[in-house]
């Protein structure tokens, strides 16, 4: 076996700081070399070229980066590896340029930085470490009347650090925007190992360059995010969900424009009839095939949500919908309607 002298020295120096939270074990590395796409392969010489490091705070991240800099080795920050393109499953075919460009590297996994340090209902902010999963944050907020609205479909697994680094957004993006709109401040470690704190914890934060927003979407190229101050928002009191199926797109669109007049839907999902046909057959759903719209709208109370659904259903039918299904977020069928999506 050919021993890479540089990676051996990197491993020794990292071990003297992180102890057993450094690994060259092919199984450990293999698990961290894949991403959520199905296009990865694991090179045979993985443990000759890569080291896995799992720091637990900004100071340790700084040490890892300094050691990497000293030996000219790249650092790849990694959250939950759900990114599907050019991401932290950096040794995969999807990121083929990295496998060919990088001779060797340190995979810096943020899994041990996963504390929710503060939830302030007064200031409506949460201060979290990068390894916290988006769903875990919302679970922690369940006792409050606040929530964190950015909802990538991978929220159950996606880390806050990864979501910031990819500028993630989800179905509720039309109303709430993307990660860029919800990060008030950051702590990050730059390529020289220096720790920076940017932004603030208030909505009005206007002095100087907006480094915080520059970091959002930077995909780990400008530094490793080690802490984030996130804005929180009042959870909607109730949600009305409508599914409406039309024979033609024009009628559906006209109905949608009518709904949108004077309000912003939480979610507006359209599925074309041929795609709907495939989905219905694959999932064995008992709903008719057509151009399909699913809408979520906020309401001030359960009663208001039910009233809104009656109006929406009538308007949809008047506009030509030949099938509708409705539910509020208190109903069991609420999630069932969304199975279609
Ligand atoms: C089923 C599925 C559904 C998805 N749905 C959506 C969706 O609806 N919307 C959407 O936007 N995306 C979606 N994605 C893509 C992905 O889940 C998101 O981009 C997610 O936010 C990435 O988070 P992660 O923790 O998995 O990051 P990773 O995949 O680990 O990393 C992503 C990138 O961020 C960098 N990075 C990670 N942590 C840090 C850090 N602490 N500091 C600096 N850089 C860092 C990595 O180096 C990499 O470049 C989906 C993925 C899957 C598999």
| pLDDT tens digit sequence for 117-159 | 999 999 999 999 999 999 999 999 999 999 999 999 999 999 9
Cα Rg of the chain (Å, integer)? 23
Asked whether 34 lines ligand 1 (CB < 6 A), one says no
User: Can you give the pLDDT at residue 90?
Assistant: 47
Q: Could you tell me if the CB of 158 is within 6 A of ligand 1?
A: yes
Calculate how far, in angstroms, residue 216's C-alpha sits from the geometric centre of ligand 1.
Answer: 12
Band of pLDDT at residue 37, cut at 50, 70 and 90: low
- Quick: pLDDT tens for 48-61: 888 999 999 999 99
116-234 CATH fold = 3.30.465
Question: Which atom belonging to ligand 1 lies closest to the Cα atom of 179?
Answer: 11
Q: Where are the domains of the chain?
A: 5-109, 116-234, 238-339
Minimum mean pLDDT range among 36-45, 71-80, 297-306: 36-45
pLDDT of 85 > 70? The answer is no
pLDDT band for 92, please (50, 70, 90 cuts): very low
Task: Give the pLDDT band of residue 333 (cuts 50, 70, 90).
Answer: confident
pLDDT given for residue 98 in this prediction = 52
For residue 35, pLDDT beyond 50: yes
Instruction: Give the side-chain half-sphere CA count within 13 A for 141.
Output: 27
pLDDT at 56: 97
Ligand 1 and 58: CB distance under 6 A: no
Q: 152-204 pLDDT, tens per residue? A: 999 999 999 999 999 999 989 989 999 999 999 999 999 999 999 999 988 78
Lowest mean pLDDT among 42-51, 71-80, 221-230, 283-292: 42-51
Query: What pLDDT is recorded for position 97?
Result: 45
- How high is the pLDDT of residue 95? 39
Give me the chain's average pLDDT, please: 90
Cα separation, 38 vs 97, in Å, equals: 17
Over residues 245-276, the pLDDT tens digits come to: 999 999 999 999 999 998 999 999 999 999 99
Interaxial angle between packed helices 5-18 and 58-71, expressed in degrees from 0 to 180 and rounded to the nearest 10: 160
**Interacting residues of 219 by C-beta distance below 8 A, sequence separation 6+:** 86, 87, 165, 166
Q: What is the residue with the minimal CA distance to atom 50 of ligand 1?
A: 154
Q: What is the pLDDT of residue 39?
A: 61
Two domains, one topology: 116-234 and 238-339? no
- Annotation: CATH topology of 5-109: 3.30.43
Please identify, by atom number, the ligand 1 atom nearest to the C-alpha of residue 113. 41
* pLDDT above 80 for 43: no
**Which CATH fold topology does 238-339 show?**
Alpha-Beta Plaits (3.30.70)
Interface predicted TM-score of the whole assembly (ipTM), two decimals: 0.98
96-106 residue pLDDT tens:
345 445 778 89
Burial of 301 (0-12, 13-18, 19+ CB in 10 A): exposed
């Amino acid at each position: 076996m050919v021993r890479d002298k540089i990676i051996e020295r990197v491993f020794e120096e990292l071990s003297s700081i992180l102890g057993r939270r450094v690994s060259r074990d092919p199984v450990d590395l293999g698990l961290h070399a894949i991403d959520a796409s199905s296009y990865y392969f694991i090179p045979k010489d993985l443990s000759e070229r890569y080291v896995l490091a799992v720091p637990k705070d900004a100071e340790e991240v700084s040490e890892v980066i300094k050691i990497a800099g000293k030996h000219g080795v790249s650092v790849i920050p990694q959250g939950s590896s759900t990114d599907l393109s050019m991401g932290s499953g950096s040794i995969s075919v999807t990121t083929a340029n990295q496998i060919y460009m990088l001779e060797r590297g340190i995979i810096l996994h943020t899994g041990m930085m996963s504390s929710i340090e503060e939830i302030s209902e007064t200031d409506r902010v949460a201060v979290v470490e990068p390894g916290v999963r988006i769903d875990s944050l919302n679970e922690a907020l369940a006792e409050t009347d606040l929530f964190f609205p950015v909802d990538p479909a991978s929220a159950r697994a996606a880390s806050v650090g990864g979501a910031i680094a990819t500028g993630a957004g989800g179905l509720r993006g039309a109303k709430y925007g993307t990660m860029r709109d919800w990060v008030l401040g950051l702590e990050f470690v730059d390529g020289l190992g220096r720790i920076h704190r940017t932004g603030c914890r208030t909505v009005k934060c206007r002095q100087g360059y907006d480094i915080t927003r520059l970091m959002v979407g930077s995909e780990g190229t400008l530094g490793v995010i080690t802490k984030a101050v996130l804005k929180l928002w009042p959870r909607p009191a109730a949600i009305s969900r409508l599914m409406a199926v039309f024979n033609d797109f024009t009628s559906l669109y006209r109905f949608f424009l009518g709904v949108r007049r004077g309000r912003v839907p939480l979610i507006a999902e359209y599925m074309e009839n041929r795609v709907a046909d495939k989905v219905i057959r694959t999932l064995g759903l008992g709903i008719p095939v057509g151009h399909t719209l699913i809408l979520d709208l906020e309401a001030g109370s359960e009663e208001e949500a039910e009233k809104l659904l009656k109006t929406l259903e009538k308007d949809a039918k008047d506009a030509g919908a030949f099938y509708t299904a409705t539910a509020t977020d208190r109903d069991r069928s609420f999630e069932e309607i969304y199975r279609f999506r």
